[in-house]
A and B are shown apart, each in its own frame.
Chain A
Amino acid sequence: MFINWKLREINLKIVYYGPSLSGKTSSLEYIHSRTHPDRRGELISLKTREDRTLYFDYMQFQMGEIGGLKPRFNIYTVPGQVYYRGTRKLVLKGVDGIVFVADSQINRLDENLEAIKDLNEDLKELGFEPKDIPFVLQCNKRDLPEIVPVHTLKEHLGLNGIPTYESVAVDGVGVLDGLKSIVNNVVTNARGKINPDLA
């Protein structure tokens, strides 16, 4: 969170995190396509020749003034492949909210577990207490045949009690619901940070 008191702008950072090919970039592409053109910036994707995320995908959108402050959201994805862990940690710097995009397929459960373990470790190394960060679970690929029930997925990932949304990111189903939820949580959390008495 960064507040420019001269311009009365509050900058907030949301990161879409998850294992490789879970649907993070598809989610961001859909969000960008559905954001009002007057309120969004360019979608930036740093990809490999194989069209996989190398560094991150990035977009920014802003909303109208709320309570005397103009919120600007910087949305990032991280590269999911195991060997890009260093990059994922860099993108998490200064994060205000996380959407964990899980791959719902039964044969991807281990990758989801590994990603959530890495995420918790990276957050601790960056000085965050993971439970204090606004968090949303987006269970993606719900249209595929062999998928884990949502409650089972949450239990395996240790995410019981976390706001959860089912999605089909390539079609945009459920993506905006997850985003709106994290934006709400991040704004509420920011309000508490601005004035702890209101937390």
Chain B
Amino acid sequence: MNQGLHVPEELLNQIEYILTHLAEKAHTDSIVLADISGQVISINGIMDEGTPDVVAALAAGDVAAMAELSKRIGESDPHGSFFHEGESKSIYLHNIAGSFILIVIYRAETPIGLVRLFAKRAVEQLIPITEEFEKIVGPPSSYTPDGFSKGITQELNDTFLED
């Protein structure tokens, strides 16, 4: 994964289909698929701008901590799932093969059993797709990256406010 992930459109469409199906079946509020380093890969549902990135970053820290905790109590497979039960909304996290995280946000009145059932099915469908990510090492043939890195100075000046 150190060379980075290139996720082509057709795989993203498959992921979106799986997340949409999960959202419909489990009546979820929103769903984020992230990689284990906390980068957002796909989103389902409506979230404020920037929220998915924060959710993914925090979930990555949470999943990593839980994996370490599991190891400390002798669990041989630390890639399980766990959830936080809130008053109005709850969060279900599922570690996908140690490389990706499925983050499901659902209303408190939704039964956790329903979320777990359909989330596990979604994870089973996502595993072969996420395995495909690792095999893709380059951009689509239609993309020529000549311009990437040109114009960076202007963009940096536009992004940061000088004193």
List residues of chain A with CB under 8 Å of any chain B CB. 1-6, 10-11, 13, 31, 34-36, 39, 41-42, 44, 46, 55-56, 58, 60-61, 63-64, 66-69, 71-72, 74, 76, 86-87, 90-91, 93-96, 126-128, 172, 176, 179-180, 183-184, 187-188, 190-191, 193-195, 198
Contacts and interface: CB of A to CB of B under 8 A. Distances in A.
Contacts, number: 166
Given A36-B160, A66-B152, A128-B2, A41 B7 contact: no
Contact of B41 (A1, A4, A90, A179): A4
- Number of contact residues on B: which range applies? 35 or more
Interface stretch (B53-61, B86-94, B123-131): B53-61
B149 A188 contact: yes
Interface stretch (B75-83, B105-113, B140-148): B140-148
Nearest to B143: A68
A122 B97 CA distance: 21
19 contacts: A4-B7, A6-B8, A6-B9, A13-B38, A34-B162, A36-B158, A39-B158, A60-B57, A63-B159, A66-B152, A67-B145, A68-B147, A87-B65, A93-B37, A94-B38, A127-B2, A184-B152, A190-B148, A193-B3
Interface string B1-40: 1111111110011000000000000000000000111111
Contact of B156 (A183, A193, A194): A183
B53 A74 contact: yes
Contacts of B148: 10, 66-69, 187, 190-191, 194
